[in-house]
């Protein structure tokens, strides 16, 4: 058993460099994650995803953050659907279903098989600078279940894996984990009243869970962020809530919340030992060999469980359809119509979606 499948790596630009190609061919990572820096147009994006697949013996996850609103990595060449908060206020499940369907269709055509969406955080602090403004599907647990559930259901019907985030309660943060480690002073019983309910309610329809870089001192007394905490990943998410067969991945390990206290190799080791499956190295990916070395001595039972979950998830991946300019045009037209139907012809973007895009993490 080799831990290479535990890594999801970033890519530097819109095409592979010889150095990147040699590294990926050697390491054989479990997958890749794409950002706006990688995407110029639809044809180029599909070539890049085809090239990445060609480098891998085992079909890789090819992931992206296409939530809608300001988190829409394909914005350079495809209209972004309205934000989750705009859909929440419109409260029309048919429009949300269309957003999930069009998102899944677009990603499938581009050769992307894993969308890191939907957000299941409850919008407790709408005005906080916590990177979530406009991205939450509800201000109550039931709103999140109703709206995010529809979006996820329809993107999965296009055979795109979905990922709920940011467990256990990213919406409780007041600060941005891209820069520092937020602290949330709540225990499990308090989180079960609202924040954990969307995860348990939607459990049968979730492929993966992303763990937040937030610290919950009442749950983990060791000072660890949730993404590195066995108390939160194994004991809470898997053992207590029963999400034992779901993929668990970190948020980007290059974020300040992790880099300010841990190196990437140590953080990757801790997250897998805590019950996680995939470690995201989105920016410092050329140093992935150092992280892989840190994973070599993982306990065999832990490695066995993680690789088993990855293997089962990969069996649900499909070969992308042949690229078609005509089909791409129909998808982008449907996305544009969706914006019109949701926001109206004279409606300006609201403050939540006119914010600058979430950092390219």
Q: Where are the domains of the chain?
A: 3-353
- Picking from 197, 231, 209, 168, the residue whose alpha carbon sits closest to that of residue 313 is 209
d(CA 96, CA 88): 9
Q: In the block, which residue shows the tokens 């409606």?
A: 347
pLDDT value at residue 349: 47
Q: Which residues have CB under 8 Å from 315's CB, separation 6+?
A: none
Q: Could you tell me the mean pLDDT of each successive run of 10 residues in the chain, 361 residues long? A: 93 96 97 97 98 97 97 97 97 98 98 98 89 95 98 97 96 84 93 97 97 94 94 98 96 81 91 97 91 95 97 96 97 96 70 48 42
Rounded to the nearest 5 degrees, what angle is found at the Cα of 115, between the Cα atoms of 110 and 121? Answer: 155
Exposure string for 208-224, b = 16+ CB within 10 A, e = fewer: bbbbbbbbbeebbeeeb
Q: Report the CATH number of the 3-353 domain.
A: 3.20.20.300
pLDDT of residue 358: 55
Report the largest interatomic distance among the alpha carbons of the chain, rounded to a whole angstrom: 59
Q: What angle do CA 257, 260, 261 make, to 5 degrees?
A: 95
* Contact yes or no for 243/205 (Cβ under 8 A): no
**Cα separation, 326 vs 323, whole angstroms:** 9
For residue 279, what is the enclosing H or E element? Answer: strand 279-281
Name residue, tokens 């470690």: 279
> Which pLDDT score, from 0 to 100, does residue 5 have?
97
Question: Are the C-beta atoms of 234 and 272 separated by less than 8 Å?
Answer: no
Q: Are 335 and 301 in contact (CB under 8 A)?
A: no
> The pTM is what?
0.94
Beta strand extents in the chain (DSSP E only): 7-9, 31-34, 61-64, 66-68, 71-72, 114-115, 161-167, 208-211, 247-250, 279-281
């Amino acid at each position: 058993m080799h831990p290479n499948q535990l890594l999801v790596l970033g890519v530097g630009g819109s095409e592979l460099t010889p150095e990147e190609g040699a590294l990926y061919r050697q390491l054989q990572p479990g997958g890749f994650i794409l950002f706006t820096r990688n995407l110029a147009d639809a044809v180029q994006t599909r070539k890049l995803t085809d090239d990445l697949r060609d480098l891998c013996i085992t079909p890789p996850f090819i992931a992206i953050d296409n939530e809608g609103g300001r988190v829409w990595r394909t914005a350079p060449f495809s209209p972004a659907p309205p934000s989750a908060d705009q859909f929440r206020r419109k409260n029309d499940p048919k429009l949300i279903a269309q957003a999930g369907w069009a998102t899944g269709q677009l990603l499938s055509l581009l050769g992307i098989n894993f969308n890191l969406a939907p957000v299941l955080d409850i919008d407790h602090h709408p005005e906080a600078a916590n990177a979530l403004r406009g991205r939450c599907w509800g201000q109550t647990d039931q709103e999140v279940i109703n709206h995010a559930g529809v979006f996820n259901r329809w993107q999965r019907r296009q055979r795109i894996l979905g990922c709920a985030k940011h467990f256990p309660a990213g919406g409780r943060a007041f600060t941005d984990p891209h820069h520092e480690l937020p602290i949330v002073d709540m225990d499990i019983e308090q989180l079960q009243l609202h924040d954990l309910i969307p995860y348990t309610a939607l459990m049968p329809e979730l492929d993966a869970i992303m763990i937040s870089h937030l610290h919950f001192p009442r749950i983990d007394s060791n000072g660890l962020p949730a993404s590195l905490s066995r108390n939160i990943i194994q004991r809470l998410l898997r053992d207590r809530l029963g999400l034992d067969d779901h993929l668990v991945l970190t948020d980007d390990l290059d974020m300040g919340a992790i880099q300010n206290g841990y190196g990437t190799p140590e953080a990757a080791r801790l997250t897998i030992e805590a019950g996680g499956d995939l470690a995201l190295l989105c920016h410092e990916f050329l140093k992935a060999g150092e992280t892989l070395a840190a994973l070599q001595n993982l306990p065999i039972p832990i490695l066995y469980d993680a690789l088993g979950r990855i293997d089962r998830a990969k069996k649900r991946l499909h070969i992308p359809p042949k690229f078609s300019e005509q089909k791409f045009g129909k998808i982008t037209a449907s996305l544009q119509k969706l914006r019109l139907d949701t926001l109206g012809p004279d409606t300006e973007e609201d403050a939540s979606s006119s914010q600058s895009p979430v950092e390219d993490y």
